A = this chain, B = another copy of it.
Amino acid sequence: MDAKEVLKAHVLKNTELTDEQFDYFFSLFELRKFKKGQVIISEGSLVDHEYFVIYGCLKSFFINEELKMFILQFAMPTWWASDFEALYNGTKAKIALDCISDAEVLCLSNANREKICREIHSVEHFFRWRTNKGYVASQKRLLSFMNNNVKFRYEELLKLYPELYNMVPKNLIAAYLGVSRETLSRLYHT
């Protein structure tokens, strides 16, 4: 399935658009291919796009003063990623984004998103829906973080996204769970 079809299926799941509307929507995206390890948003840069994953896996992450990395999201096909705070406020990126594997991504600029949201009511509806889903997921993750220990959270993550087990090295999984790689390793070995 090509990029256009992937996006179309994703949007139509929740929003009704005519073919012409969707074609116009799609025309605002730019398809780009990235290599494993390639950086899409680097900390401190200006952010003017958000990214819809067609193929592969991205990570959005934060690195603190002690160079410890925290992963906010593993973005897999049909997921959206960016530093949304920087993107919406026009501030510099605190969250970086790069590729865990080779990836194919549809890029939408902030300006184009706002433009089409103004022009086509249904597209605004779609983005409301999308953001809402992200918000709910983020709240759930926060709650799980407060409530559950590492082992539980690890198994919860793998149950939700089994493909991560093979796709993503354990040290990155640890950075997502907010735990040291040693502790994660000791959950099943030792």
Residues of A within 8 A of B (CB): 62, 64, 68, 70, 72, 84-85, 88, 117, 121, 124-125, 127-128, 131-132, 134-136, 138-143, 145-147, 178
Contact = CB atoms under 8 A, between A and B. Distances in A.
B140 A142 contact: no
28 contacts: A62-B143, A62-B147, A64-B147, A70-B143, A70-B146, A70-B147, A72-B143, A84-B132, A84-B135, A84-B136, A85-B136, A85-B139, A85-B140, A88-B136, A117-B125, A117-B128, A121-B121, A121-B124, A127-B128, A128-B128, A128-B131, A131-B132, A134-B135, A135-B138, A142-B142, A142-B145, A145-B145, A145-B178
B142 A72 contact: yes
Contacts of A147: 62, 64, 68, 70
